[in-house]
Amino acid sequence: MTSDQGFTLAEALTALLIVTLAMAGLAQGVHLIGLQARSAERARAQRVDLSRLQRLVATAPADIGPFFSDGEGFIGDPRRATFDCDQPQPCSVSLEGKQLWGGWNGRRASATTGGAQAQLRYIADDGEVRRDWPGGAAARRLAAVAIVSDEAPLALIRLAPTTSGACLAGRSGCGPRSGSLDVQVP
């Protein structure tokens, strides 16, 4: 209640408490919005840059593969793969930090693999996953190269058995586009 002399002490304290609670709620809201924005930025930084990875793969030379476990032409370990690609020098793919680098046509290009330290895995046509290629007793065709982090797939580069990389890049003269290299993110 008010008197002729203004508000009572209880009324003033109640008003002060309400204003304080409102300001605390507003500050908490701003803090939560900031946390959400930072979390979204971290998640974005940890994702594979799919469009850049697709562009990197699309620039690969024509006539890559097929590669077999008992043959030559493709050597891979968890950090690097080198393969024949109808070029004067072998083509390569390597993981350096959080970047996947591809080297062919006399140039190097990269794509982000995400926030975690990634590795390469080699998938045979029968589904066997290997840390290195070639290897194994039976002759198997290399079907895909997976980019993994903590054994969870970040991206999968599939190799068709006979179609050249030129088809994936949309170059003329390929016939139906079945794709020698194709990128998927699970």
Helix (H, G, I), strand (E, B) or coil at 68: strand
Give me the torsion for CA of 144, 147, 151, 153, rounded to 10°.
-80
Structure confidence at residue 19 as a pLDDT band (50, 70, 90): very high
Averaged over 59-83, what is the pLDDT? Answer: 80
User: For tokens 């030129």, what's the residue?
Assistant: 166
- Helix, strand, coil content of the chain in percent (nearest 5): 25, 30, 40
Which amino acid, 167?
Answer: C
The domain limits of the chain are: 2-46, 50-184
Round the average pLDDT of the chain to a whole number and report it: 75
Q: pLDDT of 120-168, one tens digit each? A: 888 888 888 888 888 766 678 888 888 887 767 777 777 766 544 444 4
Residue-level pLDDT at 18: 94
Residue-level pLDDT at 14: 93
- Given a contact cutoff of 8 angstroms between Cβ atoms, the answer to whether 80 and 95 are in contact is yes
Residue 180 CB partners (closer than 8 Å, separation 6+): 60, 62, 64, 65, 159, 160, 163, 164, 165, 166, 167, 168
Burial of 65 (0-12, 13-18, 19+ CB in 10 A): buried
Query: Comparing C-alpha atoms, which of 128, 119, 85 is closest to residue 104?
Result: 85
Q: pLDDT of 80-118, one tens digit each? A: 988 887 777 888 888 887 788 888 777 788 877 766 678
Helix (H, G, I), strand (E, B) or coil at 100: strand
Determine how many CB atoms are found less than 10 A away from the CB of residue 72. 10
Residue-level pLDDT at 46: 54
Range of lowest pLDDT (45-54, 55-64, 79-88): 45-54
pLDDT at 186 over 80: no
Q: What is the pTM for the complete model shown?
A: 0.61
Name the more confident of 63 and 141: 141
